[in-house]
Amino acid sequence: MQTYSIEALSPADFDEFITYLDDHLRENGSPDVGYFQPLSRSASSFPEERKAAFRAGLEIAVGESGWRRAWVARGTEAQILGHIDLRGHAERYAAHRCLLGMGVHCNLRRQGLGTALIEHAGLWAASSGLEWVDLQVLSNNQAALALYQQAGFVQVGEVPNMFKIDGHAFSYTTMTMPCSSQE
């Protein structure tokens, strides 16, 4: 079992995080892993246009347009083993909700790190006054769906054939979880 600590992503560590994220995304669409992001196999890296917004969002106050918070799980040699991020919805009047994104290194999946990251982010969201955590996941990603359901997320919708990627159709599942006992 890998030992790790979960820490907030600082703007100073952003370039290292992007390197990790690009390595993680290179697995997207591979025969061993399958698709877990709505990106083509040839474009499986963090889009350039989203890097600046992500970095800037780390310093925007929660509740303000464009805010984002992220945490990384680091191993004993300080390497990034996984991440989780929360960001505000773009829609007006949705400041009480946030969107979740996450990833875990392929060698550490199904060992509890994803659960620990979700718990960490959920506690932070509740303590920050957020009421709901939402997410979208490719419907074929059974491992992620099972993880999210185990963590307390419930499916609230699915868009069939949302994406056409590399000649394959993918549906998109939306899930949500209250940050506390309110529903």
Q: Which CATH class, in words, describes the domain spanning 4-135? A: alpha beta
Largest CA distance in the chain: 43
What mean pLDDT comes out for the span 155-171?
96
Q: Find, among 160, 158, 137, the residue nearest to 147 by Cα.
A: 137
Q: Which of 101, 96, 144 is nearest to 121 (CA)?
A: 101
What ranges do the domains of the chain cover?
A: 4-135
52-66 mean pLDDT = 92
pLDDT digits (tens, 9 = 90+) for 103-132: 988 676 777 889 999 999 999 999 999 999
109 vs 12: CA distance, rounded Å: 27
The pLDDT of 145-154, averaged and rounded, is 96
What pLDDT is attached to residue 35? 87
Predicted local confidence at residue 42, as pLDDT:
85
> Is the pLDDT at 183 greater than 50, yes or no?
no
